[in-house]
């Protein structure tokens, strides 16, 4: 459907839309000051630029020169246009949120309560299914020696993080853990902050990629992004970069995603990796399902020892380790881990036997000593 049936606005000024990063206008500085997350900042900035482009408006300050009544009409019509273009509910919701924040930070009162009622109802989609381990192997084979994208896929599979979060991962958010694992701090410094983990197989892939960055003198300082654009290592990957790369790979395996049903594939392009992680942990009866939800990034209070509190990094990692054998992709790595765990179990049992024998010896010594004391007292 086109926007012909939707009320349109006469373009105000024709010009090239500048990027927010280069803007020093007061309106956008106020808007920017209210955003804490890099991901949210980029998303909202993109939505604002689209609004400007739609009406061909010169810059952000120019939006504030338009009378509120006219602005209200423009936003109403813009949302109707997005709906007519069959844009997703999340896209329309994000557009409204960004405009609401921009105008509220610039003290422009508009009826956003009415505008929010224009968000379309959530569509019921068929349940998506995860990638299988064999399918992930096929994807990694296609990637071959592409260190960046191999590491990206490994991190998604091992951590269960959304692709959109990994794009914003910084070196300062990677934390060393036992057994050559790493913790990844997601939403660092924000209320929604949580920890995900990656096992040794993913760590090996990630470290190869990081070493390649160092060899090319790309930034690896604590505040630098881990996954960056090929031609500009100062910029993090975008969702478009991820979609383009994964689409290219999956075209080689049309059978993986199957046929579209209700406009969607059975296996979601990037969410299929996250779905695999979630399925593995949820099906593991030894893992506390509430702790699994916490590692999945779902905000909730965890009841532990009858007291409600935030689980520690160590408690979460202990649960995560129970899933590592199934999360590992390479069969040889899985076999190595199995042998290693069996050896540790054997060592623990041997150690237990030795401790029991030593305690028995000590008990005999005590009994002998007691007998001697009893004999002396007679």
- The domain ranges of the chain are 3-116, 133-327, 339-378
Reduced to 3 states (helix: H, G, I; strand: E, B; else coil), residue 285 is: coil
| Number of helical (H) and strand (E) elements in the chain, helices listed first | 17, 5
**Residue 110 CB contacts under 8 Å (≥ 6 apart), including other chains:** 68, 71, 72, 75, 100, 103
How far apart, in whole angstroms, are the C-alpha atoms of residue 345 and residue 356? 16
Residues near 86 by Cβ (< 8 Å), separated by ≥ 6? 1
- The span from the CA of 179 to the CA of 373, in Å, is 51
C-alpha 29/C-alpha 21 separation (Å) is 10
Model confidence at 289: pLDDT above 80: yes
| Beta strand ranges found along 208-335 (DSSP E) | 302-304, 307-309
pLDDT band of residue 164 (cuts 50, 70, 90) is confident
CA distances from 156 to 72, 274, 358 (A): 41, 7, 48
Q: Are 161 and 180 in contact (CB under 8 A)?
A: no
Q: Is the pLDDT of residue 286 over 60?
A: yes
* CATH number assigned to the domain covering 3-116: 1.10.150
Residues 250-285: tens digit of each pLDDT: 888 877 766 666 656 677 788 889 999 999 999 999
Q: What Rg, from alpha-carbon coordinates, does the chain have?
A: 28
pTM for this entry:
0.67
Burial 292-322 (b: 16+ CB within 10 A, else e): bbbbbbeeeebeeeeeeeebeeeebbebbbe
Which pLDDT value is given to residue 252? 83
CB 295 within 8 A of CB 281: yes
Q: What is the pLDDT of residues 123-147, one digit of tens each?
A: 665 567 898 999 999 999 999 889 9
d(CA 138, CA 272): 14
Number of neighbouring beta carbons within 10 Å of residue 96: 20
Residues 55 and 3: their CA atoms lie apart, in Å, by 13
pLDDT category, 376, cuts 50, 70, 90?
low
Per-residue confidence (pLDDT) for residue 348, from 0 to 100:
65
Q: Could you report the per-residue pLDDT of 202-239, keeping only the tens digit for each?
A: 999 999 999 999 999 999 999 999 999 989 998 888 88
For a pLDDT cut of 70, what percent of the chain falls above it?
81
Least reliable range by pLDDT among 11-15, 183-187, 209-213, 221-225? 11-15
Task: Name the CATH superfamily housing domain 133-327.
Answer: Intergrase catalytic core (1.10.443.10)
pLDDT for the residue numbered 226 = 95
pLDDT at site 128: 76
- For the record, the structure tokens of 248 come out as 């290219």
């Amino acid at each position: 459907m086109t926007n012909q049936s939707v009320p349109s606005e006469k373009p105000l000024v024709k010009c090239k839309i500048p990027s927010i990063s280069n803007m020093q206008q007061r309106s956008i500085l106020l808007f920017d000051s209210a955003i804490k997350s890099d991901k949210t900042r980029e998303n909202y900035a993109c939505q604002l630029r689209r609004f400007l482009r739609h009406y061909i408006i010169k810059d952000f300050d120019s939006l504030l020169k338009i009378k509120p009544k006219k602005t209200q009409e423009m936003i109403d019509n813009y949302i109707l246009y997005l709906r007519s273009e069959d844009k997703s509910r999340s896209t329309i919701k994000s557009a409204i949120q960004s405009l609401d924040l921009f105008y509220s930070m610039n003290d422009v009162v508009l009826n956003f309560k009415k505008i929010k009622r224009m968000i379309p109802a959530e569509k019921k989609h068929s349940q998506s299914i995860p990638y299988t381990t064999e399918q992930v192997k096929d994807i990694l084979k296609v990637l071959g020696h592409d260190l960046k994208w191999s590491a990206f896929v490994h991190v998604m599979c091992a951590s269960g993080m959304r692709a959109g979060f990994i794009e914003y991962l910084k070196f300062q958010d990677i934390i060393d853990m036992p057994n050559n694992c790493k913790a990844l701090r997601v939403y660092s410094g924000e209320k929604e902050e949580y920890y995900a983990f990656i096992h040794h197989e993913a760590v090996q892939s990630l470290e190869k990629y990081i070493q390649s960055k160092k060899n090319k003198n790309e930034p690896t300082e604590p505040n630098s992004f881990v996954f960056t654009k090929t031609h500009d290592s100062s910029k993090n990957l975008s969702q478009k970069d991820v979609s383009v790369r994964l689409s290219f790979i999956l075209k080689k395996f049309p059978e993986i995603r199957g046929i579209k049903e209700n406009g969607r594939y059975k296996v979601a392009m990037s969410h299929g990796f996250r779905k695999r992680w979630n399925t593995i942990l949820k099906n593991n009866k030894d893992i506390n399902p509430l702790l699994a939800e916490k590692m999945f990034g779902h905000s909730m209070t965890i009841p532990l020892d009858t007291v409600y509190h935030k689980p520690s990094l160590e408690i979460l990692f202990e649960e995560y380790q129970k899933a590592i054998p199934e999360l590992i992709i390479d069969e040889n790595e899985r076999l190595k881990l199995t042998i290693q765990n069996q050896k540790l179990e054997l060592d623990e049992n041997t150690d237990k036997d030795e401790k029991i024998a030593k305690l028995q010896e000590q008990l005999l010594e005590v009994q002998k000593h007691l007998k001697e004391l009893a004999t002396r007292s007679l």
